[in-house]
Chain A
Amino acid sequence: MAAFLVRRLGAAILVAFGVATIAFLLIHLAPGSPLIGSGENPYVSAELIAQAQRNFGLDQPLWVQYGRYLANLARGDWGLSFSQQRPVLEVFRDALPNTFILALAALILDFVLGIGLGVYQGLHPHSRADRFWSRVTLTLYAVPSFWLGLMLLLVFGKTLGWFPVGGVVDPVLYPLLPPAGQLLDRLRHLALPAVTLGLIGAASTARYQRAQVLEVLGQDYVRAARARGLSETAVALRHVLRNALLPTINLFGLALPTLLSGAVLVETVFAWPGMGRLAVEAVARRDYFLVTGIAVLAGFLVVAANTLADILVHLADPRTREARRPEAHRARFGASRPAQPAGGLPPTTR
């Protein structure tokens, strides 16, 4: 276990290092240096350029700059945000909690709805309900998050007036409300953006979960459990679900990049002051170090989530407890394929 942890954390650090390198290269290999030709950029003053030149040593050779950039990053110095005139880290401190709350709420919705629906569909394959929900999830899968957000906003915000149309809290009323009212106000603001992200995530989670349940249903040990006279409930709960939910832990690591990407658009739609909206503003203002910092941070978060998911799978699956990687044999056609397609021959027809 200790050896696995060390190996996994080592790999995570290596990937995080790669993330920083890619970001560095993107800045420096782009046409023109980030600070040269920024005369037309109203947010960059002469001192800021001087400061950044000191931080990043833009006069030095590339490899020296690279070393200094990594050293700064390791010390927690993410550079300066031109547009906000303060350190990038400070900007993060304001925006990150908002994105965190949104992502957490969306993740809970995503997993509760997605797993519930996927398990239900998997246990009743090809039923009328299954076919109906498959169509729903296939459609949702194709819906752009920002458009879904706008449509929810149109129906539940503007037309019905059930939810506010943007922001984290009501700018006027919030300070006057009692604590319970303040919490309610926050939740009301959170509802639409979280549902937007959560629904779209739930669609793919449900499709994945359904395929997992079907795959496990086709396994010999499920048939063997039935052959021993166990009740359908016992088979479903102990034999099917335990195995079908294991790989879903990996989704937790995979859901984060999707959520963060979705957040960029959904935060913009709902004027949610998080990392996503920050990134869009930073791009619009050519705030290079802020944009890069956000990308690096997003990369770090994803690496952390994947590492955590790996460790969780490792803990939950008795087979991997003694150092065995989950098999990669499904690489060819992806993992989302059901084991037994409709109308196909079942695996045992010998």
Chain B
Amino acid sequence: MVGPENPVSPLLAVSRLSVAYRSAGGLARAVENVSFELERGELLALVGESGCGKTTLALSLLRLLPEPVALTDPESRIVFEGADLTRLDPRSLRRVRGGGMALVFQEAGSSLNPVLTIGSQLVETVRAHQPMARRRARDRAVELLTAVGLDRPEQRLEQYPHQLSGGMQQRAAIALALAGDPKLLIADEPTTALDVTVQAQILDLLSDLRHRLQLAVLLITHDLGIAAGLADRVAVMYAGRLVETAPTQQLFARASHPYTAALLQAVPRMDQDAVLPKPIPGQPPVATAWPPACRFHPRCPYAWARCLEEEPPLLAVGPQHQARCWLVDEPERPGPAGINRCA
């Protein structure tokens, strides 16, 4: 959406991002040719089944993938606040990590160093981004812990991660992510490992922080329900590819890719009795051997010959709404409800 009529560049612009792993079973193309943009203050949800490349995508944005094993395609561009992270020197890259983009991990317990106190990890991070006296960094740490809703922050500083509950650990991890004053928070399944009630609290916190600090958020989740509640826009990933992006309302009203439609049907719904969630048939494919042409065709109820011959590009369904499906091209064919309504 960068163009002459829009002089303000987006916060993050990812284009043609491809990442592969060398593995015993061959090259695993975990992420292929993914492009998307994220505006300041926007909350984009990235949705997909496990194994579709979401976490790889998140890690590759910060260039945290293990170098000799993971290969990033040289065509890939990750432009954050005007700087291309794929060609940044290590020092500037470090400033972006935590200071521009911060990462919250799926399991807070394992993302906190077990032998260092919460306080020392916070102080260390604060000072890495802004040189200041230890005492002032400590005050800042207390502020951060208060901001994420941890009670008795002074006391928490002296505690080790294992002394906190799962929910408190995730709060502490969010505080750590915020320590460098980032503009974008990448949250990778931040609630998957938590109890349902705690999940809701953490999601509330994320939504609250986002408005208070005017953060952009990239929320990675396998749960469309979570995306529906929080996101401005949703991007759906399948087998290393983006298959559909749309503003949240639009996506729920007119899911245009059969995979998105299937995901929607797999979400349990409270408002409709007697509608049982439907599982998606078949197994998710593995990254060493994606299906040819359209990667969803072996599991797609609407697939026809064209889907086996050629992979569809992202086709425009409406303004800001694109889907990687030949049905968009041929709306007269039977397809999920969203496409038919659109046509």
Interface-located stretch among A192-200, A226-234, A253-261: A226-234
Residue numbers in B under 8 Å from A243 (CB-CB): 113-115
Q: A229-B125, A230-B128, A349-B51 are in contact. Are A242 and B116 (CB under 8 A)?
A: yes
Judged by a CB distance under 8 angstroms, whether B148 is at the interface is no
Among candidates B23, B99, B129, B176, residue contacting A224 with C-beta atoms closer than 8 Å: B176
Among candidates A223, A242, A319, A349, residue contacting B64 with C-beta atoms closer than 8 Å: A223
Q: How far is the CB of B242 from chain A (nearest CB, A)?
A: 17
Instruction: Annotate B111-130 by CB proximity to A: 1 below 8 A, 0 otherwise.
Output: 11111110000001100110
Contact A345 B59 (CB under 8 A): no
Q: A229-B97, A231-B128, A346-B70 are in contact. Are A317 and B115 (CB under 8 A)?
A: yes
Judged by a CB distance under 8 angstroms, whether A246 is at the interface is yes
Residue numbers in A under 8 Å from B179 (CB-CB): 228
Residues 100-155 (chain B) with a chain A CB within 8 angstroms: 102-103, 105, 107, 110-117, 124-125, 128-129
Q: A220-B105, A228-B177, A349-B55 are in contact. Are A238 and B28 (CB under 8 A)?
A: no
Contact B114 A319 (CB under 8 A): yes
Judged by a CB distance under 8 angstroms, whether B68 is at the interface is yes
Q: How far is the CA of A56 from the CA of B317 in the complex (A)?
A: 96
Q: A242-B115, A242-B116, A346-B70 are in contact. Are A229 and B95 (CB under 8 A)?
A: yes
Instruction: Annotate B168-201 by CB proximity to A: 1 below 8 A, 0 otherwise.
Output: 0000010011011000000000000000000000
Residue numbers in B under 8 Å from A227 (CB-CB): 62, 64, 97-98, 102-103, 177
Q: How many residues of A contact B (CB 8 A)?
A: 31
Judged by a CB distance under 8 angstroms, whether B162 is at the interface is yes
Residues 323-350 (chain A) with a chain B CB within 8 angstroms: 340, 343-346, 348-350
Q: How far is the CB of A321 from chain B (nearest CB, A)?
A: 9
Among candidates B22, B59, B177, residue contacting A348 with C-beta atoms closer than 8 Å: B59
Q: How far is the CA of A343 from the CA of B66 in the complex (A)?
A: 11
Residue numbers in A under 8 Å from B162 (CB-CB): 318-319
Contact A349 B128 (CB under 8 A): no
Judged by a CB distance under 8 angstroms, whether B252 is at the interface is no
Instruction: Annotate A204-235 by CB proximity to B: 1 below 8 A, 0 otherwise.
Output: 00000000000000011101111111111010
Q: How far is the CB of B300 from chain A (nearest CB, A)?
A: 22
Residue numbers in A under 8 Å from B124 (CB-CB): 230, 234, 238
Judged by a CB distance under 8 angstroms, whether A158 is at the interface is no
Residue numbers in B under 8 Å from A219 (CB-CB): 110
Contact A229 B65 (CB under 8 A): no
Residue numbers in A under 8 Å from B78 (CB-CB): none
Judged by a CB distance under 8 angstroms, whether A8 is at the interface is no
Q: How far is the CA of A317 from the CA of B113 in the complex (A)?
A: 12
Residue numbers in B under 8 Å from A223 (CB-CB): 59, 64, 105, 111
Among candidates B51, B64, B117, residue contacting A226 with C-beta atoms closer than 8 Å: B64
Among candidates A220, A230, A349, residue contacting B28 with C-beta atoms closer than 8 Å: A349
Contact B115 A231 (CB under 8 A): no
Among candidates B66, B70, B115, residue contacting A318 with C-beta atoms closer than 8 Å: B115
Contact B69 A221 (CB under 8 A): no
Judged by a CB distance under 8 angstroms, whether A7 is at the interface is no
Q: A318-B115, A318-B162 are in contact. Are A234 and B128 (CB under 8 A)?
A: yes
Among candidates B95, B103, B287, residue contacting A349 with C-beta atoms closer than 8 Å: B287
Contact B24 A230 (CB under 8 A): no
Judged by a CB distance under 8 angstroms, whether A86 is at the interface is no
Judged by a CB distance under 8 angstroms, whether B290 is at the interface is no
Q: How far is the CB of A339 from chain B (nearest CB, A)?
A: 11
Residue numbers in B under 8 Å from A319 (CB-CB): 114-115, 160, 162
Among candidates B51, B65, B94, residue contacting A346 with C-beta atoms closer than 8 Å: B65
Judged by a CB distance under 8 angstroms, whether B54 is at the interface is yes
Judged by a CB distance under 8 angstroms, whether A131 is at the interface is no
Judged by a CB distance under 8 angstroms, whether A285 is at the interface is no
Residue numbers in A under 8 Å from B326 (CB-CB): none
Contact A224 B112 (CB under 8 A): yes
Residue numbers in A under 8 Å from B62 (CB-CB): 226-227
Q: A126-B68, A224-B112, A234-B128 are in contact. Are A229 and B99 (CB under 8 A)?
A: yes
Judged by a CB distance under 8 angstroms, whether A239 is at the interface is yes
Most buried by B among A234, A243, A348, A349: A349
Chain B residue with minimal CB distance to A219?
A: B110
Q: A229-B98, A343-B24, A349-B30 are in contact. Are A220 and B111 (CB under 8 A)?
A: yes
Chain B residue with minimal CB distance to A231?
A: B94
Q: How far is the CA of A150 from the CA of B193 in the complex (A)?
A: 58
Most buried by B among A220, A239, A340: A220
Q: A231-B128, A343-B22 are in contact. Are A226 and B97 (CB under 8 A)?
A: yes
Among candidates B51, B113, B125, B180, residue contacting A350 with C-beta atoms closer than 8 Å: B51
Could you list 23 A-B pairs, sorted by A, with CB under 8 Å? Answer: A221-B111, A224-B176, A225-B113, A227-B64, A228-B97, A228-B102, A228-B128, A229-B95, A229-B96, A229-B128, A229-B129, A230-B94, A238-B113, A317-B114, A318-B114, A319-B114, A319-B162, A345-B24, A348-B59, A349-B28, A349-B51, A350-B54, A350-B56
What 9 pairs between A and B have smallest CB-CB spacing? A229-B98, A228-B98, A229-B97, A224-B111, A227-B103, A220-B110, A318-B160, A221-B113, A220-B111
Residue numbers of B with Cβ under 8 A of A are 21-24, 28, 30, 50-52, 54-56, 59, 62, 64-66, 68-70, 90, 94-99, 102-103, 105, 107, 110-117, 124-125, 128-129, 160, 162, 173, 176-177, 179-180, 287
